[in-house]
Amino acid sequence: MANVIVVGAQFGDEGKAKVTDLLSQNADVVVRYQGGANAGHTVVVDSGTYKFHLIPSGILYKGKLCVLGPGMVIDPQAFLKELGGLMERGLDDSGLKVSATAHVTMPYHLILDAAEEDARGPQKIGTTKRGIGPTYADKCSRTGIRVEDLLDTEVLKQKLEYIVPRKNVLLERLYNLPPLNAGEIHEQYIEYGRKMSKYVCDTSAIIFNSVRERKNILFEGAQGTLLDLDHGSYPYVTSSSPTAGGACIGAGIGPTIIDRVIGVSKAFMTRVGEGPFPTEQGGEIGDQLRQIGKPWAEVGVTTGRPRRCGWFDAVLGRYAVRINGLDCMAVTKLDVLDEFDEVRVCVAYRDIKTGERHNELPSIAGSIFSRMEPVYETFAGWNKPTTECRSFKDLPVAAQRYLNFIEEQVGVPVAIVSVGQKRDNTIIIEDPIHGPKRVLTKSTKF
């Protein structure tokens, strides 16, 4: 038995779903614990490509329990559409469970997300406009609608009668938008509730029972460490806690049941949306990393926006090790670097205001983080395809050196290397779950 958290160690889109899919083979339960339809998780299998937004990718395996945990925000329309698409492709929903206490993204959340972004003008966050921020804001204000409320006509009516007029004041007076009709929303969302009801339950109890039965549970993170509401590049973050600590809160389990935390990073780095990105590359290097035209091109799965691309940032890698307590890393998309004459890794920052060098991120506070410029080490590229490599020693020596350097820099072992989109385009260097639990090396002293 092992209970494992998979988290994004960068700005999201690290290839978490590919790694989760690999590890799901041996899991009994796969749990999403935060975020909502802002996520876009790609899994490529023999039968085709799947793009998940709300549903845990574990649904690709028959017989697994797939849990949408209480820490998630669920847009019922998006959920039913995604599920319908998966069922049309022959997938089985018998293991699907939705937490009764997860919050619901309502129509006014979607409208307000877009309106707030427009109003921010140059200070916009670049959200996915999936209503994430406004849904979590209502949760914190204790005016949210939970999945359970969609199952009770009277309760939903009462709540909407209170909430909708207040949202309409914002819509009409602040944003000059038409008001919403509480009755129409009620009718539509009761219908969604009816369709979702067979999946709704106390998912925390299900997970706890699975723990008692010594089953294997995989917690599938969405977004990434630098998008974490508390520990990311605020305000350019999402409104939930994608980091490992968030798995306990968001799934309703205690930290003592967690055995391993695996961080997923690309062999370079990407970001979609606004906010600081010290190693970002414009021009030819950015374009070469973006791989436009390839099936794995750096284009947002949810919004279709081109992703910003840059070199691997080991300072942020060390930060992710610290914030998540990573045991090991999975490094994805190594193959994207195959045709580079040289590759770079950011090993430290220089403060553009003071000229001071920082080997560790001095602070994630925006006023400091946005002043950091990268100090690079440069390596010769390998100029050889890696996609067919299946063991570490199959890799070109320069690629081996690159991975060893990343490992040394971040201070935890690279257990998995991904060299292509498909399940078998993968190198397992050591068992990420049952391999030896490593103590952090010297380079992770802060």
**Active site residue ranges:** 13, 41
Min separation Cβ 341 and ligand GDP, Å: 19
The CA distance from 226 to 122, in Å, is: 21
The CA distance from 354 to 313, in Å, is: 21
Q: What is the 3-state secondary structure (H, E, C) of 144-180?
A: CCEHHHHHCHHHHHHHHHHHHHHHHHHHHHHCCCCCC
Contact flag: residue 13 with ligand GDP (CB under 6 A): yes
Contact flag: residue 273 with ligand IMO (CB under 6 A): yes
Contact flag: residue 42 with ligand GDP (CB under 6 A): yes
CB 281 within 8 Å of CB 289: yes
Min separation Cβ 37 and ligand IMO, Å: 9
Contact flag: residue 156 with ligand IMO (CB under 6 A): no
CB 331 within 8 Å of CB 343: no
CB 135 within 8 Å of CB 105: yes
Q: Which residue among 29, 39, 115, 419 contacts ligand IMO (CB under 6 A)? A: 39
Nearer to ligand GDP, 409 or 425 (CB): 425
| Two structure tokens written together for 158 | 């009462």
Nearer to ligand IMO, 138 or 210 (CB): 138
Residues that bind Mg ion (CB under 5 A): 13, 40, 301
Q: Which residue is nearest to ligand IMO (CB)?
A: 273
Contact flag: residue 40 with ligand GDP (CB under 6 A): yes
How many residues of this chain interact with ligand GDP, rule: CB under 6 A? 22
Binding-site partner at residue 105 among ligand IMO, ligand GDP, Mg ion, none, CB < 5 to 8 Å by type: none
Burial class (CB in 10 A: 0-12, 13-18, 19+), 363: exposed
CB 203 within 8 Å of CB 221: no
Interface pattern 244-283 for ligand GDP (x via CB under 6 A): ----------------------------------------
Which helix (H) or strand (E) segment holds residue 43: the answer is strand 41-45
Min separation Cβ 12 and Mg ion, Å: 6
- Any residues with CB less than 8 A from the CB of 250 and at least 6 apart, and which? 33, 34, 69, 70, 71, 72, 240, 241
CB 231 within 8 Å of CB 244: no
Min separation Cβ 247 and Mg ion, Å: 18
Contact flag: residue 103 with ligand IMO (CB under 6 A): no
Min separation Cβ 102 and ligand GDP, Å: 20
Nearer to ligand IMO, 69 or 411 (CB): 69
Contact flag: residue 36 with ligand GDP (CB under 6 A): no
The CA distance from 165 to 171, in Å, is: 10
CB 25 within 8 Å of CB 424: no
CB 56 within 8 Å of CB 31: yes
For the chain, how many residues are written? 446
Contact flag: residue 16 with ligand GDP (CB under 6 A): yes
CB 103 within 8 Å of CB 146: yes
The CA distance from 89 to 348, in Å, is: 47
Min separation Cβ 228 and ligand GDP, Å: 15
End-to-end CA distance of the chain: 32
Nearer to ligand IMO, 71 or 273 (CB): 273
CB 233 within 8 Å of CB 135: no
Contact flag: residue 272 with ligand IMO (CB under 6 A): yes
Question: Cβ atoms within 10 A of the Cβ of 70, count?
Answer: 22
Contact flag: residue 9 with ligand IMO (CB under 6 A): no
- Residues 201-230 close enough to bind ligand IMO by CB under 6 A: 222-224, 227
Which helix (H) or strand (E) segment holds residue 334: the answer is none
- Residues 369-428 close enough to bind ligand GDP by CB under 6 A: 418-421, 425
Contact flag: residue 57 with ligand IMO (CB under 6 A): no
Question: Cβ atoms within 10 A of the Cβ of 141, count?
Answer: 8
- Residues 48-107 close enough to bind ligand GDP by CB under 6 A: none
Q: Which residue among 332, 347, 406, 429 contacts ligand GDP (CB under 6 A)? A: 332
Contact flag: residue 243 with ligand GDP (CB under 6 A): no
Interface ranges with ligand IMO (CB under 6 A):
8, 12-13, 38-41, 125-128, 130, 132-133, 222-224, 227, 236, 238-239, 272-273, 301
Interface ranges with ligand GDP (CB under 6 A):
8, 13-18, 40-42, 44, 296, 301, 332-333, 335-336, 418-421, 425
